[in-house]
């Protein structure tokens, strides 16, 4: 079934591309950002409304929520410029026709494109949450309100691992949405999707919650291959059958009280258009990620320090587990949070924060809402007996402190100038190519590599005379290159034994 999901996918991230040619106070820049959040009483009332005998307000009437929320969802247009390299003209044509034919070194050209998505106003003073893929690589971001006002927006922070971003417009007294409780959502509950699909005006569609905690694997492409410690995406989507299409990205999924319960992000489709199911990031994650982006500039992630395996009857039999559901602890990280708390290889985590644990996606969402230093209550089954542990989450460096954005980006600054994503060769690939290791240029977007003749798929084995086996090696070499100096890359293409030499101006 998992492979079938991947075959579908154009499981499309929903930005539409048009090619040309009670309150939370969050400290930010010495000021407070005020977000509306439904009070516990409102949330309890909402639950009662869905229970037999509870208070009810015209079941199936979507108009109140739709009218209230529509002004709070905005249209986002982005402009991006990318380098497009001209096709190499064969030597034989240059010999006969010379530079008149377009010979000489091929020159990169700049091409401009536009994309369209949606966003949700979360504060009266202009903070807006949307998807990372809506504003990723954008040179300009424009926000258009339902009353046709237009603003230039600044990207405050992005998080590819949850596909969320926060942007800001200079405006006051904007209609801000109330943040609801995605944990309270029930299967079969009515929800509304609000956004700007297919570059249309504001559009509202209705559906029900089809599933919760759904992992579809679409965010795996957002993992940074340049990171020495790549993180796993946090996918625990709300699945709905409310019709959404390209352009709905970053728009609101709301309950019938008009409270935000999710940010629409993806569809499962072989065509890229709606075919029955949509997926939204739950507001429980939206709250935490947006709060971190506003306060710290990056997401503060807590790590439990285990290698998890999701159990089913087959895996349980293979591992010799006493039960068939939960998260099997394949190993614990040395000096990590789990080891410090007393967890061991072979334990099965059956509950986290009191919630029965059935999936890896569910566990990642629970941990994803917390920061380093937070304590998580964990119940494990050890040899048939349940035991409770308190696990204090650690940061990516094994500590409990806040990791500033500058600390994370500093290590990737040099590689980012190359304008490409990289991946390391597996041991088997290296053996087949007759090398001890190497780094493949997976995708060239913009930057220094786009100005050279390097093609995607090129395997770097040396840089400035030093062996390159990992992205960490390449990063280390890049960090020694001074401004104005060059980088000499030596490597090969998969189907060629010839070595190629490329000079990259850095």
- Residue pointed to by tokens 């417009």: 169
Instruction: Write down the pLDDT at residue 292.
Output: 93
Is the predicted pLDDT of residue 431 greater than 80, yes or no?
Answer: yes
Which element (helix H / strand E) includes 478? helix 471-478
Q: List, for residues 399-418, the tens digit of each pLDDT value.
A: 888 776 655 544 444 577 78
pLDDT band at 46 (very low <50, low <70, confident <90, very high): low
Q: 74 or 270, which is more confident?
A: 74
> Measured between alpha carbons, how far is 148 from 144 in angstroms, rounded to an integer?
6
* pTM of the predicted model as reported, rounded to 2 decimal places: 0.70
Instruction: Write down the pLDDT at residue 230.
Output: 47
* Contact criterion met (CB below 8 Å) for 48 and 282: no
Alpha helices in 36-111 (DSSP H): 40-49, 63-69, 91-97
- Residue pointed to by tokens 């007996």: 385
> Could you tell me where in the chain the CATH 2.40.10.120 domains are found?
1-299
Is the predicted pLDDT of residue 93 greater than 60, yes or no?
Answer: no
Instruction: Convert 160-177 to b/e letters by CB count within 10 Å (16 or more is b).
Output: bbbbbbbbbbeeeebebb
Q: List, for residues 227-252, the tens digit of each pLDDT value.
A: 334 467 788 899 999 999 999 999 99
* Contact criterion met (CB below 8 Å) for 333 and 308: no
> Measured between alpha carbons, how far is 174 from 168 in angstroms, rounded to an integer?
12
Alpha helices in 275-426 (DSSP H): 283-295, 313-319, 337-341, 360-368, 405-410, 413-416
User: Any idea what DSSP says for residue 90?
Assistant: P
Which CATH architecture group holds 1-299?
Beta Barrel (2.40)
Strand partners, 351: 356, 379
> Measured between alpha carbons, how far is 10 from 490 in angstroms, rounded to an integer?
35
Which CATH architecture group holds 306-392?
Roll (2.30)
Instruction: Write down the pLDDT at residue 407.
Output: 57
Retrieve residue 473's tokens: 């090696």
* Contact criterion met (CB below 8 Å) for 194 and 175: no
For the chain, what is the mean pLDDT?
81
Domain 412-505: CATH class, spelled out: mainly beta
Angle (CA) 63-275-220 rounded to 5° is: 105
> Measured between alpha carbons, how far is 287 from 24 in angstroms, rounded to an integer?
10
Of 248, 306, 260, nearest in space to 287 by CA: 260
Task: For residue 15, indicate whether it is catalytic.
Answer: no
> Measured between alpha carbons, how far is 419 from 90 in angstroms, rounded to an integer?
26
Selecting among 16, 75, 118, 163, the annotated active-site residue is 163
> Measured between alpha carbons, how far is 110 from 79 in angstroms, rounded to an integer?
13
Retrieve residue 197's tokens: 């699909």
- Residue pointed to by tokens 């919650």: 209
Q: List, for residues 271-330, the tens digit of each pLDDT value.
A: 777 778 899 999 999 999 999 999 988 899 899 999 999 999 999 999 999 899 999 999
- Residue pointed to by tokens 């209230």: 68
Averaged pLDDT for residues 2-18: 47
Task: For residue 75, indicate whether it is catalytic.
Answer: no
Selecting among 249, 284, 290, 359, the annotated active-site residue is 249
Q: 268 or 289, which is more confident?
A: 289
Task: For residue 133, indicate whether it is catalytic.
Answer: yes
| R_g of the chain, CA atoms, integer Å | 25
Whether residue 75 is annotated as binding a ligand: the answer is no
pLDDT band at 445 (very low <50, low <70, confident <90, very high): confident
Whether residue 163 is annotated as binding a ligand: the answer is yes
End-to-end Cα separation, the chain, in angstroms? 46
> Measured between alpha carbons, how far is 257 from 46 in angstroms, rounded to an integer?
8
* Contact criterion met (CB below 8 Å) for 41 and 168: no
Instruction: Write down the pLDDT at residue 19.
Output: 35
- Residue pointed to by tokens 């086996």: 469
> Could you tell me where in the chain the CATH 2.30.42.10 domains are found?
306-392, 412-505
Is the predicted pLDDT of residue 61 greater than 70, yes or no?
Answer: yes
Backbone φ, ψ for residue 49 (5° rounding)? -60, -25
* Contact criterion met (CB below 8 Å) for 398 and 336: yes
CA distances (Å), 354 to each of 287, 294, 349, 370, 378, in order? 21, 29, 11, 15, 8
Whether residue 32 is annotated as binding a ligand: the answer is no
Is the predicted pLDDT of residue 256 greater than 50, yes or no?
Answer: yes
Q: 223 or 288, which is more confident?
A: 288
Retrieve residue 361's tokens: 């996606």
């Amino acid at each position: 079934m998992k492979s079938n999901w991947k075959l579908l996918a154009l499981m499309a991230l929903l930005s539409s591309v048009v090619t040309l040619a009670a309150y939370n106070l969050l400290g930010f820049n010495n000021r407070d950002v005020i977000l509306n959040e439904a009070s516990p009483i409102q949330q309890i009332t909402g639950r009662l409304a869905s229970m037999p005998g509870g208070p009810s307000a015209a079941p199936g009437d979507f108009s109140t929520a739709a009218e209230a929320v529509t002004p709070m969802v905005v249209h986002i247009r982005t402009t991006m410029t990318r380098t497009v390299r001209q096709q190499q003209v064969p030597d034989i044509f240059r010999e006969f026709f010379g530079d008149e034919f377009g010979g000489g070194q091929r020159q990169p050209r700049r091409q401009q494109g536009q994309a369209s998505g949606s966003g949700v106003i979360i504060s009266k003073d202009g903070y807006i949450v949307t998807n990372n893929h809506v504003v990723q690589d954008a040179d300009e971001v424009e926000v258009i309100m339902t009353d046709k006002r237009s603003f230039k927006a600044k990207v405050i922070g992005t998080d590819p691992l949850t596909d969320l971003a926060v942007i800001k417009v200079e405006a006051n007294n904007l209609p801000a949405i109330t943040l609801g409780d995605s944990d309270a959502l029930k299967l079969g509950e009515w929800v509304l999707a609000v956004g700007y699909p297919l570059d249309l005006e504001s559009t509202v569609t209705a559906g029900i919650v089809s599933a919760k905690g759904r992992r579809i694997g679409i965010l795996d492409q957002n993992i940074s291959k340049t990171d020495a410690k790549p993180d796993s995406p946090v996918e625990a989507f709300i699945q709905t059958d409310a019709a959404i299409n390209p352009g709905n990205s970053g728009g609101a999924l709301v309950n019938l009280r008009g409270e935000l319960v999710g940010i629409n992000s993806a569809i499962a489709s072989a065509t890229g258009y709606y075919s029955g199911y949509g997926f939204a990031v739950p507001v429980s994650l939206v709250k935490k990620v947006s709060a971190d982006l506003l306060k710290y500039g990056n997401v503060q992630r807590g790590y439990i320090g285990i290698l998890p395996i999701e159990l089913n009857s087959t895996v349980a039999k293979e591992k010799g587990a006493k039960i068939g559901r939960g998260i099997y602890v394949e190993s614990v990280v040395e000096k990590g949070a789990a080891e410090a708390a007393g967890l061991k290889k072979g334990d099965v985590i059956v509950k986290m924060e009191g919630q029965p644990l059935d999936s890896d996606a569910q566990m990642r969402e629970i941990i994803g809402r917390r920061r380093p230093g937070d304590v998580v209550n964990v119940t494990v089954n050890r040899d048939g007996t349940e035991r409770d542990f308190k696990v204090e989450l650690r940061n990516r460096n094994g500590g409990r402190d806040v990791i500033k954005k500058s600390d994370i980006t500093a290590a990737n600054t040099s590689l980012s100038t190359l304008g490409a994503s990289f991946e390391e060769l597996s041991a088997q690939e290296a053996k087949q190519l007759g090398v001890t290791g190497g780094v493949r240029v997976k995708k060239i977007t913009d930057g220094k590599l786009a100005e050279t003749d390097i093609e995607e798929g090129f395997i770097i084995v040396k840089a400035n005379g030093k062996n390159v086996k990992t992205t960490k090696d390449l990063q280390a070499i890049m960090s020694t290159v001074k401004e104005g100096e060059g980088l000499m890359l030596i490597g090969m293409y998969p189907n060629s034994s010839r070595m190629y030499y490329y000079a990259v101006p850095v």
